[in-house]
Amino acid sequence: MTGPAIDGVLVTWGERLFYPGNRVVRSPPTPRLGTMLRRKASVIRQRIEATVRRAPQVMVKVTGGGRGMGAIAAHFRYISKNGRLEIEDDRGVVRTGKEALHDLVDQWRYGGSFIDEVSDRREAFNIMLSMPAGTNPDLLKKAVREFAKAELDGHRYVMVLHGHQANPHVHLSVRAESSTGKRLNPRKADLHRWRETFAEKLRGWGIDAEATRQPTRGVTRNYEALWRQRAREEGRLWYSPPASKTGSKQASSRSMAAESWAHILNALATSESAGDRKLAKDVAQFAKDLPVARKILGQGHRAHPLDREPQQRQLPHERKAGRAGPDIDR
């Protein structure tokens, strides 16, 4: 397959694999040289390469939220260790100490709509952004600062770095109501976009990071909510959810991912580019560890392109003479 044709396949199926908002898969576009197509394909290749080498995955998790100023103030005290850790607000002001906490609570209580001590609605969201052990905590905080400016514009928020634990992470508490009165209500699609933005900001600071969905990575882990973990530690909960995700929805997601990987693998393996064929071998190796490996690799259906040596194309006059095509190594 030629370059434009490969790019078309990668964009068509790569968007389905890495960007869940694109549910409709259309036929690959007619092969043509197009700057936009090449740019999109380049991004998809980068996402494929990062996924198959298992780049560190970012974590963005909504851990709860305050229903009233009493709960919000308690969370401020918790994440700042009662004022001992630096707490930074949306204006970039960094403070420590109990007096700074009291001042911050008053700002949130009276700034904008008044927040009662106890409210029947969620007045703030608590978000945790984390990376694996070994990540530079200072660069992590810089990435979170950029993330907050990009995704939480118009909202008041505070952030505290916890770099003293095994996995460095930042606690971000966001006021639900923005300066224009619009309320924050994060949904699953928002969380995935937040992960994408966070990973992008980390890469901007030289930190290897990805935000690939579980079905794309062949992972089915069922993460337990923090409140369940704490309740079990305190002996208040005995039920444990399944370790792996199950159900028709999960099966459909895994099947969709397998189909996408299969098309991508076939396109890369038949590419004229040596770099693409090398990436195809990495994808094949990655796919062997996935639960849907048979579907991706096409075992039992046909020989996979990786098992065949690419054939040289012959010009018409060469085919007539029965001669081999030009040696591309010379």
Instruction: Give the whole-angstrom CA distance, residue 191 versus residue 194.
Output: 5
Instruction: Give the whole-angstrom CA distance, residue 234 versus residue 215.
Output: 33
Does residue 21 surpass a pLDDT of 50? yes
pLDDT number for residue 323: 40
Name the phi and psi angles at 145, rounded to 5. -60, -45
**What is each CA distance from 35 to 4, 11, 32, 38, 190, in whole angstroms?**
10, 13, 10, 5, 29
Instruction: Give the whole-angstrom CA distance, residue 39 versus residue 225.
Output: 38
Instruction: Give the whole-angstrom CA distance, residue 284 versus residue 262.
Output: 9
Sorted by sequence, the CB contacts under 8 Å of residue 219 that are 6+ apart come out as none
For residues 240-249, average pLDDT: 58
pLDDT tens for 46-74 read 999 999 999 999 999 999 889 999 999 99
Instruction: Give the whole-angstrom CA distance, residue 47 versus residue 41.
Output: 10
Residue ranges of the alpha helices (H) in the chain?
A: 3-18, 35-52, 69-79, 98-110, 137-151, 188-204, 214-217, 226-233, 248-269, 274-287, 293-297, 316-321
pLDDT tens for 138-148 read 999 999 999 99
**What is each CA distance from 237 to 208, 215, 234, in whole angstroms?**
37, 29, 8
pLDDT tens for 175-217 read 999 999 999 999 888 999 999 999 999 999 999 999 998 888 8
| Residue whose pair of structure tokens reads 């100023």 in the numeric block | 69
For residues 276-301, average pLDDT: 77
Bigger pLDDT: 41 or 231? 41
Round the average pLDDT of the chain to a whole number and report it. Answer: 81
pLDDT number for residue 73: 96
pLDDT tens for 93-142 read 999 999 999 999 999 999 889 999 999 999 999 999 999 999 999 999 99
Q: Name the class of domain 59-209.
A: alpha beta
pLDDT number for residue 271: 93
**Four-point Cα dihedral 179, 184, 190, 194, nearest 10:** 50
Buried b (16+ CB within 10 A) or exposed e, 240-266: eeeeebeeeeeeebbebbbbbbbbbbb
Q: Where are the domains of the chain?
A: 3-55+250-307, 59-209
Most confident of the following: 21-25, 237-241, 282-286: 282-286
Model confidence, pTM: 0.75
